Amino acid sequence: MDIAFIGLGKLGFPCAVALAMRGHRVRGYDTNAELMAGYERDEVTPFEPGLEDQYRNAKPRMTFEPSVRDAVAQSEAVFVAVPTPHAPRHDGSFPYDGQPRDFDNGPIRDCLAEIAAAIRSIDDDVFRTIYIVSTVTPTTTVRELIPAMVEAAGEEPGLRWGVVYNPFFIGQSTVVRDFLSPEFVLAGHSPSPIVRARTERAAQELYGSLHDRPIRSMTWTEAECVKLSYNTYLGLKVLFANTVMELCHALPDCNCDTVNGALKLATDRLVSPKYMDGGMADGGPCHGRDQMAMSFAARNAGIGFDVFDVINTGRDHQTAYLADLIREHAADRPVVLLGMAFKPGTNQTQGSPALLLANILRAAGVEPLLHDPVIRPETPMPPGPAVYFISTRWESYADHPFRAGDTVIDPWRMLSTDRLPDGVEYIPVGVGPTSNSALGSSLTRNAAKENEACEPKLSRFTGSYTAAIS
Ligand SMILES: NC(=O)c1ccc[n+]([C@@H]2O[C@H](COP(=O)([O-])OP(=O)(O)OC[C@H]3O[C@@H](n4cnc5c(N)ncnc54)[C@H](O)[C@@H]3O)[C@@H](O)[C@H]2O)c1
């Protein structure tokens, strides 16, 4: 396949080499002409073990072009790995100043516009797929990058070009290996089914020529979310392990390598997809109180940053968010919490997030009805329309007799809409608004509106509730 690679830095160059190693013809372009001249002279600048040999093998299939247009004109796939810089002192080597900021999207936006303008100027029938590798925050592609491309191309995506948001999960020093043997390929596509079908086919063809790893297809915004969630999750793991280390340092007869080493043996629960579905807060007779106890221990030991406290307060805030959602939809209707147990299959309510939710609602002046198929099956349902919230993921709630006029809020996304009677409003928590547009401009208009609607909303929870559960 003929492939253009735009941005030949620490990530781009080794990946371009990897593509050429697999037999593809790669045309590279970088605004840094010196860098490209160095590659021509076999100066392999990115420090990657083995890259010099790999480049020697791949070089016959690589060229370095004088312009974006030259690279794009003869290619059907275009990778883009240009920088998305962060604000000064926001690289993690200085203390965080408490002011979150977006990346500077200027370089990637301008580069994509240049690619789109090049496509506009090329008179052929080739459908070009542009793979955006650079890291951006969720909604950037639909809100900022696609509109810039549409303007420069003079046409919507779908006929002559399409975009895949395709970030790599790659570690420096193993770029080629990680690129050619990833856990999975992340591919974000247009929300338009027609455009998506085209770019999905293209991505399957391209990645099928590199390896047999699964391709995970989704929307641009979902892929942006996966990329940043993946990285922040790794950050959380490191934070956790480092906090254990700091705590162990203050405790007698306690070595953090012994503690973390034992945790690492827990490959079923700790290092697995388990506990990775959005839903209610973590709960049960152990977790909540263990976290609070660890927080107590950590503070007594005088550690600098108490991650356990973050988990505690995060749990409260996430539950308060669900309480806010219920109150927003209640409109004077009674509120029913379906489920009291901390998880299905038990009658345990200790540390149950369902009860935490009930207490937060009470503190806000809403008295919910509590039902549970095991603990309180006799709770009478309201005679008229109500707001139902599935607080425990009991399978039996899939068959609950909801009626027209009811609202069902479901943090587990477990109900099937075809089985709900007409007139029931169903709110699957965690599923964002849908953009119904066929192609670009209405897509971006809708997305811009959705984006306004999705401005970060801080929970109104202020943290004072003491009501005991009855
Ligand atoms: N380095 C990694 O391991 C890694 C991993 C995942 C994602 N990323 C993301 O990939 C992107 C690139 O990262 P990097 O580490 O390779 O950066 P880098 O600074 O090493 O390389 C970027 C290259 O792009 C070139 N460039 C800038 N503007 C250009 C333009 N308009 N046209 C052509 N070339 C242009 C620069 O000259 C530079 O050589 C960033 O968004 C980064 O967050 C990097």
Does the beta carbon of 351 sit less than 6 angstroms from any atom of ligand 1?
A: no
**Does the residue 68 lie in any domain?**
yes
User: Starting at the edge strand that comes first in sequence, how are the strands of the sheet with 2-6 ordered?
Assistant: 62-64, 25-29, 2-6, 77-80, 128-132, 161-165, 185-189, 215-219
With a 6 A CB cut-off, is 135 part of the ligand 1 pocket?
A: yes
The amino acid at 427 = I
Q: Is 7 in the pocket of ligand 1 (CB under 6 A)?
A: yes
160: Cβ contacts below 8 Å, ≥ 6 apart:
119, 126, 127, 128, 153
Please tell me the distance between residue 447's alpha carbon and the centre of ligand 1 in angstroms.
27
82, part of any domain? yes
- Average pLDDT score over residue span 94-104: 84
Mean pLDDT of 388-398: 97
Q: Is residue 81 part of a domain?
A: yes
Residue 441 clears pLDDT 60, i.e. is over it? no
Name which residue leads in pLDDT, 403 or 277. Answer: 403
pLDDT value at residue 457: 38
**Residue-level pLDDT at 456:** 36
Quick check: 213 pLDDT over 70?
yes
337 CB near ligand 1 (under 6 Å):
no
pLDDT at 437 over 60: no
Whether 115 is in the pocket of ligand 1, judged by its Cβ within 6 Å, is no
Whether residue 21 is contained in a domain is answered as yes
Ligand 1 pocket: which of 48, 82, 179 to mutate (most atoms within 8 A of CB): 82
Most confident of 291-295, 298-302, 441-445: 298-302
- Domain-embedded: residue 342: no
Q: How far apart, in Å, do the first and last CA atoms of the chain sit? A: 67
Supply the angle between the helices 307-330 and 220-250 in degrees, to the nearest 10.
Answer: 140
Q: Which residue has the higher pLDDT, 105 or 311?
A: 105
Q: What is the pLDDT of residue 222?
A: 95
% the chain with pLDDT above 70: 93
Whole-angstrom Cα distance, residue 68 to residue 114? 7
Q: Find the radius of gyration of the CA atoms of the chain.
A: 26
Lowest model confidence (mean pLDDT) among 119-133, 207-221, 255-269, 330-344 = 255-269
CA separation, residue 12 to residues 54, 170, 183, 342 (Å) = 14, 11, 19, 47
Whether the per-residue pLDDT at 146 is higher than 90: the answer is yes
pLDDT top residue among 256 and 386:
386
Average pLDDT over residues 205-211: 98
Q: What pLDDT, on the 0 to 100 scale, is given for residue 271? A: 80
316 has a pLDDT exceeding 80: yes
Give the whole-angstrom CA distance, residue 160 versus residue 410. Answer: 41
- The mean per-residue pLDDT over the stretch 122-126 comes to 96
DSSP string, 128-177: EEEEE-S---TTHIIIIIHHHHHHHHTS-TTSSEEEEE------TT-HHH
Instruction: Answer yes or no: is 203 within a domain.
Output: yes
Verify whether ligand 1 is closer than 6 Å to residue 81 (CB atom).
yes
pLDDT for 458 equals: 34
Supply the pLDDT for residue 166. 98
User: How far does residue 82's CA lie from ligand 1's centre (Å)?
Assistant: 4
| pLDDT given for residue 443 in this prediction | 32
pLDDT of 356 over the 60 cut? yes
What percentage of the chain reaches a pLDDT higher than 90? 69
User: Above 60 in pLDDT, residue 130?
Assistant: yes
Which residue owns the Cα nearest ligand 1 atom 43? 135
- The pLDDT confidence band at residue 34, using thresholds 50, 70 and 90, is very high
State the DSSP code for 84: -
CATH of the domain at 168: 3.40.50.720
Supply the pTM of this predicted model.
0.84
Residue 46: its pLDDT value, please? 85
Least confident of 23-37, 69-83, 140-154, 299-313: 299-313
Q: Are 389 and 369 in contact (CB under 8 A)?
A: no
**pLDDT reading at 467 higher than 50:** no
Question: Does residue 348 have its Cβ closer than 6 Å to ligand 1?
Answer: no
**Coil, helix or strand for 79?**
strand
Q: Which residue would you say has higher pLDDT here, 88 or 449?
A: 88
Coil, strand or helix: which one is 187? strand
What separation in Å is there between the alpha carbon of 41 and the centre of ligand 1?
21
pLDDT of residue 104: 95
Q: State which residues form the domain around 163.
A: 2-91+101-219
Report the pLDDT value the prediction gives residue 436, as an integer from 0 to 100: 59
- The answer to which of 13-22, 83-92, 334-343, 354-363 has the lowest mean pLDDT is 83-92
d(CA 345, CA 6): 53
Interval 445-455: pLDDT, tens = 333 334 343 33
d(CA 181, CA 223): 19
Is 231 a domain residue? no
Interval 216-228 mean pLDDT: 95
Q: What is the pLDDT of residue 446?
A: 33
- Name which residue sits closest to atom 44 of ligand 1, judged by CA: 11
pLDDT of res. 287: 81
As for how many domains the chain has, the answer is 1
pLDDT of residue 63: 98
